[in-house]
């Protein structure tokens, strides 16, 4: 795929460049609680801006249903983006309407406009090719060139990710290029021992990647809410913990396949339980064979955290996706923190696979430079590891 270095060599002074960014940040009201994704696109924007391009930035936030919703406005993001760019960012109050057209027309070289949430228009995510194409045509009319730097969205066949690239000369931004380079390293030539740590809520969300990884990894460590379905498959009680009963047989099969292939699939030996799902719930640590019927596990226990850390200590390469527990509650954050610190202290090539894992690293105040790479795209990273064709990447390669 062509990168923006190729675009820059052609010259961008005065040209209108539509940049698809991933600005889907977590919000508490209008307060951004983790600006990692905004920071991720800044190098691309700065380089294009400094070269004199007229930048039209577009992105989505949350899951609005094709119509404006105030709580999903990108207005707070525009303010933070301006701070990080150390320059003005004009904010359009619509996507392809009068406000957007007016601000794009007024752009000078080096100027930046951020369009309102793309998903406020039904054309962005429509499964109807004609509806999506019509919206893409309006976006493409704003620019001479398209740059995709939204790795977190490349697994979606959306108008701003796929269809626009069919209408304009297209290039990959620095973030997308870096993400692809890292993921190729994980999939094409992994260093050994290669360990993967998976957490998060549901086995069903990670089933395809687990099956794919059994052919590639040496160790697979399972934590988070998904661990309880695996524990149930081993015959352990799970109390009121998160459980996907319809996946128990699948977990039994995965355990058997891991054993057949010589993959060390490591499950928790203890868990921190609570009487209810709340930050002030009473916490109690028990072995996994002693979870009371009226209690739920909300974190891996200290023995498991130490076990996981020992499994990671001599790994040459580690991919981590999904927290070990409800890290947002301090009483249930220790497992996630222990795993994260083990990666920081190791000499492994360590990749944090976006989403909640990346948020946990920052929430817990850990040094992000202690990891080799922190991805901005959890779902996209997983689908890449599964070996799926990602629409946003395939069109950039055309």
Catalytic residue among 239, 355, 377, 392: 355
> What is the spatial distance between Cα 4 and Cα 10, in angstroms, rounded to a whole number?
10
Give the closest residue to 312 by CA, choosing from 352, 366, 280, 285. 352
Instruction: Tell me if residue 123 is catalytic.
Output: no
Where residue 171 falls (left for φ over 0; alpha for ψ -120 to 50; beta otherwise) is: beta
Instruction: Tell me if residue 377 is catalytic.
Output: no
> What is the spatial distance between Cα 302 and Cα 346, in angstroms, rounded to a whole number?
19
Instruction: Tell me if residue 40 is catalytic.
Output: no
Check if the beta carbon of residue 59 is closer than 8 Å to that of residue 118: yes
Instruction: Tell me if residue 36 is catalytic.
Output: no
Strand 283-287 relative to strand 16-21: parallel, antiparallel, unpaired?
Answer: unpaired
Give the closest residue to 261 by CA, choosing from 222, 217, 231, 223. 217
Q: Which residues fall within 8 angstroms of residue 300, CB to CB, at 6 or more apart? A: 223, 227, 268, 270, 271, 272, 308, 324, 325, 335
Q: Which residues pair with 234 in a beta bridge?
A: none
Within 13 Å of residue 77, how many CA atoms lie on the same side as its CB? 32
The Cβ of residue 378 has, within 10 Å, a number of other Cβ atoms equal to: 21
Catalytic residue among 39, 80, 101, 202: 202
Strand 270-274 relative to strand 283-287: parallel, antiparallel, unpaired?
Answer: antiparallel
Q: Give the number of residues written for the chain.
A: 398
Which residues are the active-site residues?
A: 37, 202, 355, 379
């Amino acid at each position: 795929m062509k990168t923006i270095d190729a675009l820059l060599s052609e010259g961008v002074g005065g040209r209108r460049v539509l940049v698809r960014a991933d600005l889907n940040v977590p919000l508490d009201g209008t307060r951004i609680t983790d600006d990692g994704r905004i920071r991720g696109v800044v190098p691309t924007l700065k380089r294009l801006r400094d070269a004199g391009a007229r930048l039209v930035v577009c992105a989505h936030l949350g899951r609005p249903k094709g119509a404006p919703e105030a709580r999903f406005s990108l207005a707070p993001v525009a303010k933070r983006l301006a701070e990080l760019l150390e320059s003005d960012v004009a904010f359009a109050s619509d996507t392809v309407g009068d406000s957007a057209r007016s601000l794009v027309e007024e752009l000078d070289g080096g100027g930046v406009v951020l369009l309102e949430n793309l998903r406020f228009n039904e054309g962005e995510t429509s499964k109807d090719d004609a509806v999506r194409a019509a919206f893409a045509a309006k976006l493409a009319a704003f620019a001479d060139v398209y740059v995709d730097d939204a790795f977190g969205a490349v697994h979606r066949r959306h108008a701003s990710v796929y269809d626009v690239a069919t209408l304009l000369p297209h290039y990959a931004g620095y973030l997308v290029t870096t993400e692809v380079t890292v993921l190729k390293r994980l999939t094409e030539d992994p260093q050994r021992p290669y360990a993967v740590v998976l957490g998060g809520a549901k086995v069903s969300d990670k089933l395809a990647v687990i099956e794919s990884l059994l052919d590639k990894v040496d160790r697979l460590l399972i934590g988070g809410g998904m661990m309880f379905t695996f524990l149930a498959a081993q015959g352990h009680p799970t109390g009121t913990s998160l459980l996907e009963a319809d996946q128990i047989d699948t977990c039994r099969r995965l355990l058997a396949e891991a054993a057949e292939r010589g993959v060390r699939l490591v499950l928790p030996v203890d868990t921190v339980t609570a009487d209810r799902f709340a930050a002030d719930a009473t916490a109690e640590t028990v072995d996994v064979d002693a979870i009371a019927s009226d209690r739920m596990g909300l974190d891996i226990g200290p023995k498991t955290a130490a076990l996981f850390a020992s499994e990671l200590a001599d790994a040459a390469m580690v991919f981590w996706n999904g927290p070990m527990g409800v890290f947002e509650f301090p009483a249930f954050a220790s497992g996630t923190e222990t795993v994260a610190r083990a990666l920081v202290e190791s000499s492994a090539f360590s990749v944090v696979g976006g989403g909640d894992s990346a948020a946990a690293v920052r929430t817990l105040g850990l040094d992000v430079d202690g990891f080799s790479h922190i991805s901005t795209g959890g779902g996209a990273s997983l689908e890449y590891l599964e070996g799926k064709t990602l629409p946003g990447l395939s069109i950039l390669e055309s």
